Every structure is written in structure tokens, then in C-alpha cells.
């Protein structure tokens, strides 16, 4: 299974086309997890080794290259305190607009989530708009990363 990362900010983001730096952040241990839709799909790969890959340019329109492998561990986002799509009593964060809750880690505050991606909170919220709830998404944690760093950077992008 491939877990693919963007090397550029997406077209809908104010920083569209700029490098994300995700590959370097994963390989240096700064980026420890990613958020993806469809928890049920990813659940079948929980505690499995997957290939970490990157798009060479525009997602779905460019080549992908493997840069590492990692065992993944999943968690389920059950509360998005930024969202107004559910009754207020369901919110369980102390700061009602500044966190997510997942089943394994508990409260994940926005500064931590944004820093994981090397982003500001504003950039994070532009990538994952608060009006589109992250409830039901998977947080995929990377464990035991085996890097293909020299091959990747000698033969592909330098992002």
C-alpha cells in the first residue's frame, strides 16, 4: 500500500504551488503523522508496513516515488472542535475552537497539529477548512521508518 504525500501546496490553498517540505519533515522526524479521509479504508492497514511516497508535481497528474517505508498506527478523530456541524454538548475540548480529539491520544491542540506539518495554524485551517469537519478521518502515525533518502533525492525532486 502507498501513502502518498504532496510536495506542493494544493490549488485551493493560498500558498498553491509552494513546496510543502513534507518529505524532509517525515525523514527528519518532525512530521510524525498525517490526516486522511476514510478511516474504514485505512483501518485494514493498521500495524502494517506501507510505502511512503511523494508526488513529483501536481497530485494525480505526476509520477510518484517511494522515499521510505513505515509501520503505521491509526487513530480515529471523533471530535473536531473547530466544526459547528454537531450539537455543542458533543464538544469535549477545553478550548472549543482549537483542537481535535482522537481515540488514542486524546486532545490534539491546533498548534501541535499544525507544527507536525511545518505549518502555521492558518495554513493548516486552509488545508483542512474548519467548516469541513475532520470527524471520521484517520490520523496515521508513522512508526519504524526505513528511509530511501539518498536514492529518492539523487533521482527525484529536492523538495
Closest CA to 18 of 156, 125, 149, 159: 159
pLDDT band at 64 (very low <50, low <70, confident <90, very high): very high
pLDDT band at 132 (very low <50, low <70, confident <90, very high): confident
What is the predicted pLDDT for the residue at 88?
A: 44
- Distance (Å, rounded) from C-alpha 105 to C-alpha 157? 34
- Distance (Å, rounded) from C-alpha 147 to C-alpha 1? 16
How many C-beta atoms lie closer than 10 Å to residue 12's C-beta? 9
- SS3 state of residue 150: helix
Cβ 130 vs Cβ 91: under 8 Å: no
Residue 17 has pLDDT above 60, yes or no: yes
How many CA atoms lie less than 13 Å away from 92 in the CB half-sphere?
11
pLDDT digit string, tens, across residues 70-109 = 999 999 888 777 765 544 444 445 555 567 777 776 777 8
How deeply is 31 buried, as exposed, middle or buried, from its count of CB atoms within 10 A (0-12, 13-18, 19+)? buried
pLDDT digit string, tens, across residues 22-59 = 999 999 889 999 999 999 999 999 999 999 999 988 88
Mean pLDDT calculated for residue range 114-143? 88
What is the predicted pLDDT for the residue at 44?
A: 93
Residue 111 has pLDDT above 70, yes or no: yes
How many C-beta atoms lie closer than 10 Å to residue 87's C-beta? 7
Cβ 57 vs Cβ 121: under 8 Å: no
Cβ 73 vs Cβ 34: under 8 Å: no
Query: For residue 138, what is its C-alpha cell?
Result: 484517520
Amino acid at each position: 500500500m502507498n501513502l502518498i504525500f504532496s510536495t506542493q501546496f494544493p490549488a485551493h490553498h493560498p500558498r498553491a504551488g509552494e513546496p510543502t517540505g513534507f518529505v524532509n519533515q517525515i525523514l527528519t522526524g518532525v512530521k510524525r503523522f498525517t490526516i486522511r479521509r476514510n478511516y474504514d479504508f485505512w483501518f485494514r492497514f493498521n500495524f502494517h508496513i506501507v510505502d511512503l511516497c511523494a508526488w513529483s508535481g501536481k497530485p494525480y497528474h505526476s509520477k510518484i516515488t517511494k522515499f521510505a517505508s513505515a509501520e503505521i498506527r491509526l487513530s480515529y478523530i471523533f471530535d473536531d472542535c473547530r466544526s459547528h456541524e454537531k450539537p455543542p454538548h458533543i464538544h469535549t475540548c477545553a478550548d472549543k475552537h482549537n483542537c481535535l480529539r482522537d481515540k488514542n491520544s486524546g486532545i490534539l491542540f491546533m498548534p501541535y497539529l499544525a507544527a507536525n506539518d511545518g505549518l502555521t495554524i492558518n495554513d493548516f485551517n486552509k488545508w483542512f477548512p474548519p467548516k469541513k469537519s475532520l470527524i471520521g478521518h484517520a490520523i496515521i502515525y508513522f512508526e519504524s521508518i526505513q528511509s530511501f533518502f539518498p536514492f529518492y533525492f539523487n533521482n527525484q525532486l529536492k523538495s
